[in-house]
Structure 1
Amino acid sequence: MQQKVLVIESSDTSLKRVSRLVRKAGLSPVGADSLIQARQLFEHSTPETFLCAIVAYALPDAPRGEAIDFTTGAFLPTIAVTEDINPLTRSAVLERQVIDYVPKENAQNYDYLHRLLKRLHKNKYTGVMVVSNDRQVRNDMTSLLLRHNFVVYECTCAADAYQLLGAHPHIRLILTTNTLPDASGTQFVSSLRKALSKEQLGIIGIAGAEGTIMSAHFIKSGANDFLRIPYCHEEALCRIMQNVEYMESVQAIREAANTDYLTGLSNRRHFFYEVNLGYSSLPTPHSLALLDLDFFKRINDDYGHDAGDAVLKAIARLITQHFDNAVFARFGGEEFCVYFPHSEAGDVLKRLEAFRLDVEQSCIVHEGHELHVTTSIGVCSYDDSDIDTLLREADKRLYRAKHLGRNQICSSD
């Protein structure tokens, strides 16, 4: 697993500062104060364990970027750190195959470095597609994207792009020129927007001399952004990062709105949204179960709310393991709900019984205490009932299971 970052910096203060940023990003810094030491460290490490390298442009034994040449030559994604933003230094850095460069001039630049480190890790799981029948355009953009750890796909026409997008759902961004053999770029963008919103798929248009006109055409057709050829390395990177991070931010907001903060399961509101969206026409047969933990208040009273939280998280993990093809949620407190579409009543009862036994036999250790809990379950399996009816009947049966002594399943009135 790529958890290490090679940091080559002759200044002890800068080395410590960058190392703190690396650790803040959840990674492990491997420090070297010279090119010689970096070579020695790298020789005794597995290159695949390094996510990237952060390298000072000028070192006592490598004054003109030789350390950058060493890390890029080892195919290690490299972020250059410079003392200043002198145009000559900037050009010397950017003519190499670096990810980016960060001047040391202020604290904000170090914040950018931290953001870049986190981005490099996320990019390993983010697909980007370059669509163009111009080989040079594809090669230049692909080279830039690969340096940043993106999973890159190339194609020359709209038809191939549709197939790739369908086969690889982790593609989050498309960069396309306007001249495709089977469609114009704006037609391609417009057709994509009919299926996927700007929050689901980012699109950046690319054009050359006609860029002034094409930028408006692309944006009006549904593109998120635009790049004009020839583009600046840094501008292209900033636009790509901003679009990917925008989509991730929207996704994070949606997840926060739809997810129970403690257990990570869906919340009640999102449960009904999922069920009504995916099963608007009633599947036959189907079932719904309400699960409630027995005497849960005692755990909070005897061991504290942190212990209660640990129990709820453990039960949520069991629900996820037992009901992987069902729709489930935490309804609030110690109550959970599971909906079983296209499921026979007998099979549902078997799965619920296996879950009940697993809960009963589980030992949840929290701060040296062994915690045990049981669950009462009410389940309804009326084939022709809507979700509200199933929920109402399951609630009655849950109450009956509690009344009959708890730690059991009640499936009849």
Structure 2
Amino acid sequence: MNFLGITGMQYSGVPFSAHRIILAEDTNVFTQLVSTRLMDMLGVQVTICRNFEELQEAYDAADGPIDLAISNINLPGAENGEALEYLIDLSVPTIVFTSTFHEATREKLIAKDVVDYIIKDNVFAVDMLTESVCRFLTNSRHHVLIVDDSPTARALLSSRLKRYNFRVSLAESGAKALQLLKDNPDIGLVVTDYNMPDIDGFELTRRIRTMRGSHELRVIGVSSSTNRLLSARFLKAGGNDFMLRPFIDEEFYCRVNQNLDTLVQIRMAKIGRAA
């Protein structure tokens, strides 16, 4: 399977071998599959913990911060979710890999700000997990600008993106956003509200397009309005995507990924033509 995140890794030339990843899982089949796949695809070695005691020992023995944990909800010695609570309390970014899942479980995981959850219900689950790990490790190479005049909205979007390991800048106005774009040419994605007092989202998008094309910078418009024509107006102004609030976390992350994947593909094609 060709992961766009891995393509991004190859583009940047930065290896994963130095990253510390813990795999908290007691099923031998999955520990073997996951550890082998992460080594083969990403070149990263994982520390396997088959029970809660081993997880605690692995964390205490680590000679640096844990970059990412992959954890089942339940482990021997932590049959009621204590392992996940332990990792969250330690602020270790965590991907949940579980076969026990229903709507109530999803709500609890989202509330705990886990990075992602993967359900072990099909033969592609390990592939999906590998892609999720790759995305998390490469997201720090992407710089995202959030533009919104509401402090609450900025904080909410920022916390979501930082949970996924993106670098984030904030602007409370269109004018501030334009200045940040001039000062930070590495910004690859702008998430902008429509309704702002100085420059609305449409005009901001138009001005952005005079500075940088869609092949260099992606723009996602957002709004709480019920006006369904807003999406068409954003796209006509030069935007690449549009979302209505309130967001579903999984959809928001997917839209962000899709737009950044497009940038990676464009860069890779450019490098290929130059070679």
Scaled by the length of structure 2, what TM-score is found? Answer: 0.89
Give the drift of 1:148. 1.1
CA distance in 2, matches of 1:233, 1:85: 17
Name the CA distance, whole Å, in 1 between partners of 2:33 and 2:69.
Answer: 15
Deviation at 1:44, TM superposition (A): 1.1
- Structure number with the bigger relative contact order (C-alpha 8 A, sep ≥ 6) is 2
The aligned counterpart of 1:103 is 119
Alignment check: 8 A CA contact 1:125 1:170 kept? no
- Name the SS of the counterpart of 2:68 in structure 1: strand
Instruction: Tell me, yes or no, if structure 1 residue 89 matches structure 2 residue 105.
Output: yes
What residue number does 1:55 align with? 71
Contact (CA 8 Å) 2:50, 2:76: kept in 1 or not? no
- Hey, what does 2:144 align to over in structure 1? 128
Aligned to 1:107, the other structure's residue is in SS state coil
Indicate the residue corresponding to 1:186 in structure 2: 202
Q: How far 1:162 sits from its partner (Å)? A: 1.5
Mapping of 1:295-314 within 5 angstroms?
none
- Tell me the CA shift for residue 90 of structure 1: 1.9
Q: Secondary structure at the match of 2:124?
A: helix
1:150 corresponds, among 166, 171, 186, to 166
8 Å contact from structure 2 (residues 142, 187) kept in 1: yes
Residue 98 of structure 1 aligns to a residue whose secondary structure is coil
Match for 1:141 among 145, 157, 164? Answer: 157
* Matched AA of 2:104: L
Of residues 55, 58, 69 in structure 2, which corresponds to 1:38? 55
Q: 1:2 to 1:211 in 2, by over 3 A?
A: farther
| 1:163 maps to which of 179, 203, 207 | 179
Question: Take 2:227 and 2:67, find their aligned partners in 1: how far apart are those partners?
Answer: 36
CA RMSD of superposed structures (Å): 1.6
Q: Per-residue deviation at 1:27?
A: 1.4
What letter is aligned with 1:10? D
1:117 aligns with 2:133: yes
Structure 1 stretches lacking a partner, 5+ long: 260-413
Q: Deviations over 1:194-234 (max 9, x none)?
A: 22121210111111133523222211111111121111010
Output aligned runs, 1:12-411, within 5 Å. Answer: 12-23=28-39, 24-48=41-65, 50-210=66-226, 212-259=228-275
Contact kept, 8 Å, 1:19 with 1:29, in 2: the verdict is yes
In the alignment, what sits opposite 1:269? none
Residue type of the alignment partner of 1:73: D
Secondary structure at the residue paired with 1:46? coil
Aligned equivalents of 1:240, 1:65: Cα separation in 2: 30
Residue aligned with 1:105, SS: coil
Is 1:99–1:148's contact at 8 Å kept on the other side of the alignment? Answer: yes
The answer to whether the Cα contact below 8 Å between 2:206 and 2:237 also exists between their aligned partners in 1 is yes
**One-letter amino acid of the structure 1 residue matched with residue 24 of structure 2:** I
Look up the SS of the partner of 2:107 in the other structure: helix
Q: CA deviation at 1:2?
A: 4.8
1:46 Cα shift? 3.2
The total of aligned residue pairs comes to 258
For the structure 1 residues 66 and 170, does the alpha-carbon distance in structure 2 shift closer, same or farther, using more than 3 Å as the test?
farther
Distance in 1 (alpha carbons) for counterparts of 2:242 and 2:43: 33
Q: Judging changes above 3 Å, is the alpha-carbon distance between structure 1 residues 129 and 207 closer, same or farther for their aligned structure 2 residues?
A: same
CA contact 1:131–1:177 (8 Å) conserved in 2: yes
Q: Once the 2 structures are TM-superposed, how far is the Cα of residue 47 of structure 1 from its aligned partner?
A: 4.0
Query: Relative to 1, partners in 2 of residues 1:6 and 1:211: Cα closer, same or farther, differing over 3 Å?
Result: farther
Distance 1:201 1:182 in 2: 22
Q: Over residues 375-399 of structure 1, what are the superposed CA-to-partner deviations in whole Å (9 max), with x where a residue is unaligned?
A: xxxxxxxxxxxxxxxxxxxxxxxxx
Task: Confirm or deny: 8 A CA contact 1:84 1:105 kept in the other structure.
Answer: no
Cα offset for 1:67?
1.7
3-state secondary structure, aligned to 1:172: strand
Asked if the contact 2:174–2:196 (Cα under 8 Å) also holds between the matched residues in 1, the reply is yes
Which of structure 1's runs of 4+ aligned residues deviate more than 3 A?
none
State TM-score, norm by structure 1: 0.60
